[in-house]
Amino acid sequence: MALEVVKVIEVFKVPPAPSTSPAATISGDYLPLTFFDAIWLRFPPTQRVFFYEIKDLSLSVFSDAILPKLKHALSLTLQYYPPLAGNLTWHPLTGKLAIRFATDDDGIYLTVAESTADFYSLATDDVKEAKDLHSLLSDFDVSENQATVVSLQVTLFPGSGFSIGYTAHHAALDGKSAAMFIKSWAKICHVGSLPPELMPVLERSFINDPLSICTIFTDKWKKMPPEGTFRLMEMKPEPGLLRGTFRLTRQQIGQIKSKIGGHVSSFTAVCSYIWTCLVKAEGGDITNENVQLGINMDCRARLEPPIPANYIGNCVVLRAAKTKVVSLEGGDGLVTAAAAIKEAVGSLPQGVLKGAENWLSEAASTFAGQKTYGIGGSPWFELYGADFGWGRPVKVEMVSIDKAGAFSLCEARDDQGGIEIGIVFNKHKIEAFKSIFREGLQDMIININ
């Protein structure tokens, strides 16, 4: 799909609707960042696209009925998420990282576009050009002294439906928070109010920082190129990348667990299987002796005391599973992968925050020069629940994995307990992955039977 097939119709700046709701109240006009946020300061933003099918959708219906409702609901949603309408910058008094909001100029930029591309070729599980989804995302402004928090794009596909794409600064939102925001917007658009589980908690006092770890991280980022604290790391995808979605049913996940043996979670089973398939698909192209899998662990329930599950911001810790490439390529690769993941997850220290001041330095040394796969998203975000009133999305894609060298995880749309996996590879490797993925599942069925 060439970029020319997407035409920008208009760009709106949607401000938060006036509100006196206690849930939306934050003290002052700046929301401070925590060290959980600061560690992601210069990482590329996270990006997703949601596809909504409405057959025979016309421009007039989209413009007169759908778009006004989306804009109004967005304004109402920002009552509860006012920092998302601001900018990441420096606090004028403390000099620390913060999100500035509550000014007359606040608002989320909402780009409205129209595409002549084939909606169904983009909203499919089938292999497609990875770059084709980027035109469904709006620009994201980052300068030396400030950065956008969230930008949005709604794209009409006449006769087929529309898409909603978001780009979110990783220092402002982790995956769970971004998913909550989208589901909150959808809920307000659909039913006009938020249930308790989607009522965001913005209070920062839950995260104690007696060692000024946030400042430690900020100072380290300042010393790293490129110049300008807010300049994001350049992580350009390789040319010619393809994107595909692969599915594991609940039954297949059970078969993987049986193959591994012992007690393993569905997450460990799925990640072990995908990790081994990725290594085998790369063949001899991995030059490192060892290979790693980066795992982001939600710490909301792990802090002492635990913080609310609907806390908005970042609250994840990165752990690395590590093993030898040849071990994953062998017949016991699945068991080896699961053991490495369980060791990494189990290595989270007591109290979670022990040694937190060293996280950024440790991450730099752990991943520098190493072959590492990452995991984007989670099967527990319930992204297919984002129904704006015209039905659930027919497809959700995590676009940003093509820059991060990661695979994405999402709950399956129509299979409770199933998981969708997003993979980005070149043509040769994605075809190899597809074959290895299918043959591995078939072998498990044969062995079990």
Residue 132: count other Cβ atoms within 10 Å of its Cβ: 19
Our measurement of the distance from residue 146's CA atom to the centroid of its chain's CA atoms, rounded to an integer in Å, reads 22
Q: Is the CB of residue 40 less than 8 Å from the CB of residue 88?
A: no
In angstroms, the CA 149 to CA 175 distance is 14
Is residue 219 part of the annotated active site? The answer reads no
- Amino acid identity of 277? C
For 331, other C-beta atoms within 10 Å of its C-beta total: 7
For residues 256 and 266, the answer to whether their CB atoms sit within 8 Å is: no
Mapping DSSP to helix (H, G, I), strand (E, B) and coil, where does residue 10 land? strand
The SS3 call for residue 395 is strand
Identity (one letter) of the amino acid at 407?
Answer: F
Q: Are 28 and 100 within 8 A, CB to CB?
A: no
Check if 387 is active-site.
yes
Residue of 29, 118, 298, 387 marked active site = 387
Q: Which of 106, 170, 209, 402 is catalytic?
A: 170
Residue 4 dihedral angles phi and psi, to the nearest 5°: -65, -15
Are 420 and 412 contacting, i.e. CB atoms less than 8 angstroms apart? Answer: yes
Hey, which residues are catalytic here?
A: 170, 387
